[in-house]
Amino acid sequence: MKKKQILLTDIVTLSRNYGSQAITLPLVEELSKNAHCVLALSPKFLVQNRQFARNNRLNIIAEPNTITALSLVSVWFKMLNFIRNFYLRLSGRRQTLDEEKKHLSIFIKNLKQSEFAIDACGIEFVGNTSLVKKWLQLLKTAVGQTLSAKFHKPYFKYTKSYGPFHGLFYRFIVKKLLTKLPFILIRAGRGESANFQEVKKLNLSQPIYSFADISIMLRPAPAAWAKKYLQTQKISLKKPIIGLSPSAVIRALPSEWASGKNHLNLCLKIIEFFQAEHQIVLLPHALGEGQNPKTSDLALVREIYSQLKNRRNVFVLSDQTLTYAQVRAIIGLFNFYICGRFHGVASALNRAVPVVPLAWHIKYDDLMALFLAKYPLINSRKLTVNQALSKIKISYQNQNWFNRDEVLKKKEAIIREIKKSLKLMVSEEI
């Protein structure tokens, strides 16, 4: 019997982005037991992802242009699309229009062939970004849901983080979109966590469920592979290894956020503190093109490394061929980890490695609360560089807050709960 098809949307890119891999790969692995998955990625990264897709036996297509897609259901966007098309033709970009038309056609074809669609993005409706960015992101988020409604296909949002929802009109639009879902799955911690409460304030009529992020389920590559790989990078397994994953997101935070604007300086001070007696591994999570330190962790890592006065015991893992399963295995060999990426923190907890999150969103607090009763967390919005560094030093020197056996025990219980979230979403559809 031919497997039914599921369309996964809002993935953006898998290649060079370990966070997207962390969510998508275990989701596809679970869904593929009963269905065939088609993944819709940003057209900007489609060519870049083709080899990765072949290597992982993934079927990828391009997401449609936001304005072009919404013009199918809105008079206002139809008018905007007409003006945009006229401009592109006038400027000699007819090929762009042809490609967008093709992408939309393929997307709709796959949507019609699918039993249902799942929005697989990890975080949505972040209202404390710039005004233009937050509205563009909201419109892009609405595409999959709007087209699914047009073609009468069930549409779900899988477990993710939401908000904050700044602005009355913004909250109104977000609520309007969420109200059309059969239920809400919140990526949260124990009970009614901070993110759960944030969504609850919208006073939605449908049920709200709290589940951990599916990335916790992702299986790492073999430890033997990771050990061999680190040795090829001249990193000794006989000396303590401190992992550090800077975040381009924190680097790009508004200037009024305390250690956000000084994220680079904090990373430099962390390296200076540890490097005398430890090896420091700089591990970027969102590689991007490696050019802009406000959008690419790899570019940020290179910027940090270039400003080091002393590079002794400091190693940069910039290998763009690494998969996230391999990165997770590498993280499992760290003695201590300071991480500005949500899925890096998830990997540390999965491998029972003491981790201090450099946080910019309540989702970090929610994640840590799943595994630990008490834990350190650096709030990049409030703590200064010196306050953050002091907290990191204390957390490293006294690790009574971290119980490895308890973390591993909770991991198994959390994975069972994640499988419940999958069952809740697909049991009546597959």
184 to 90, 142, 158, 255: CA distances (angstroms): 44, 15, 8, 33
3-state secondary structure at position 365? helix
Model pLDDT, residue 65? 96
> Between β-strands 184-187 and 378-379, what pairing exists: parallel, antiparallel or unpaired?
unpaired
pLDDT at position 191: 60
4-211 and 223-412, same CATH topology: yes
- Rounded to whole angstroms, the Cα distance separating 87 from 85 reads 5
pLDDT of residue 253: 75
* Helix 385-397 × helix 263-274 angle, to 10°: 30
Query: Roughly how many angstroms between the first and final C-alpha of the chain, as a whole number?
Result: 13
Classified as helix, coil or strand, 394 is helix
Q: Which CATH number fits domain 4-211: 2.40.50.180, 1.10.1200.10, 3.40.50.2000, 3.10.20.30?
A: 3.40.50.2000
CA distance 32 to 339: 31
β-sheet with 279-282: strand ranges across:
314-316, 279-282, 241-245, 336-339, 355-359, 378-379
**Nearest to 42, CA basis, from 70, 7, 66, 72:** 66
State the pLDDT at residue 69: 96
Give the angle subtended at the CA of 340 by the CAs of 337 and 341, to the nearest 5°. 100
Q: Compute CA distances 128 → 137, 254, 268, 323, whole Å.
A: 12, 9, 27, 31
Q: Rounded to 10 degrees, what is the CA torsion of 160, 424, 36, 347? A: 40
- The predicted pLDDT at position 316 comes to 96
> How many helices, marked H, and strands, marked E, lie in the chain?
17, 15
Q: Are 127 and 89 in contact (CB under 8 A)?
A: no
Closest by CA position to 340, among listed 394, 418, 405, 392: 392
Which residue(s) pair with 117 in the sheet? 7, 155
Extended strands (E) in 218-277: 241-245
* HSE-CB for 133 with a 13 A CA cutoff: 8
Assigned token pair, 298: 């790899």
pLDDT digits (tens, 9 = 90+) for 111-152: 999 999 999 999 999 887 788 889 999 999 999 999 999 999
Cβ burial, residue 239 (10 Å; 0-12/13-18/19+): exposed
Strand, coil or helix: 349: helix
pLDDT along the chain (430 residues), means of 10: 88 90 94 94 93 94 96 95 93 92 97 96 86 90 95 95 90 94 85 81 92 93 97 95 95 63 89 95 88 89 94 93 94 97 96 96 91 92 90 96 95 92 74
> Would you list the domain boundaries of the chain?
4-211, 223-412
Would you call 261 helix, strand, or coil by DSSP? coil
Range 223-412 has CATH code 3.40.50.2000: yes
DSSP classification of residue 43: G
Residues β-bridged to residue 314: 280
pLDDT of residue 192: 67
Spatial CB neighbours of 120, under 8 Å, sequence gap ≥ 6? 8, 9, 10, 11, 23, 24, 27, 39, 158
Rounded-to-10 torsion of CA 101, 27, 376, 304: -50
What pLDDT score does 258 carry? 53
CA distances from 45 to 12, 70, 84 (A): 7, 21, 22
Reported as a single tens digit per residue, the pLDDT across 214-241 is 999 999 999 999 999 999 999 999 999 9
pTM metric for this prediction:
0.90
